[in-house]
């Protein structure tokens, strides 16, 4: 490319850039991403590593409370007897 072509392409790129920025102002609502209050809480919660770790532990405990009976090798009505006597 020649120098003239490079200058011309730079000028047209600059003009296109200014036209795009002229369409948006700082008060323009299209530039601002609005989050709901719930989304703000979730975003803040998931940034906190300790809170997420606690949530994972609580979910594990909750799930195991229902799945523990299925995973346990003992029945619900099984009784445990001790045959040796401690003296």
For residue range 13-40, list pLDDT tens digits in order. 655 555 555 565 666 666 667 889 999 9
Is residue 44 a part of any domain in this protein?
A: yes
Per-residue b or e along 42-78, where b marks 16 or more CB atoms closer than 10 Å to that residue's CB = eeeeeeeeeeeeeeeeeeeeeeeeeeeeeeeeeeeee
For residue range 36-75, list pLDDT tens digits in order: 999 999 999 999 999 999 999 999 999 999 898 888 887 7
Provide the domain limits for residue 54.
32-69
Residue 76 lies in a domain: no
Q: Is residue 64 included in any domain, yes or no?
A: yes
**Residue 67 corresponds to which tokens in the numbers above?**
């799945």
Report yes or no on 4 lying in a domain: no
- Higher-pLDDT residue of 32 and 77 is 77
Residue 2, in any domain of the structure? no
- Give how many domains the chain has, as a whole number: 1
Element (H, E) at 76: none
In the chain, which residue ranges form alpha helices assigned H by DSSP? 3-23, 37-47, 49-71
pTM score, whole prediction: 0.49
With respect to residue 81, please indicate whether it lies within any of the assigned structural domains.
Answer: no
């Amino acid at each position: 490319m020649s120098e003239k072509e490079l200058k011309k392409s730079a000028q047209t790129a600059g003009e296109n850039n200014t036209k795009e920025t002229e369409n948006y102002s700082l008060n323009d609502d299209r530039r601002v991403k609005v989050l709901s209050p719930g989304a703000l809480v979730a975003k803040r919660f998931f940034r906190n590593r300790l809170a997420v770790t606690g949530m994972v532990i609580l979910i594990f405990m909750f799930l195991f409370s229902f799945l523990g009976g299925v995973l346990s090798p003992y029945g619900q009505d099984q009784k445990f007897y001790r045959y040796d006597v401690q003296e």
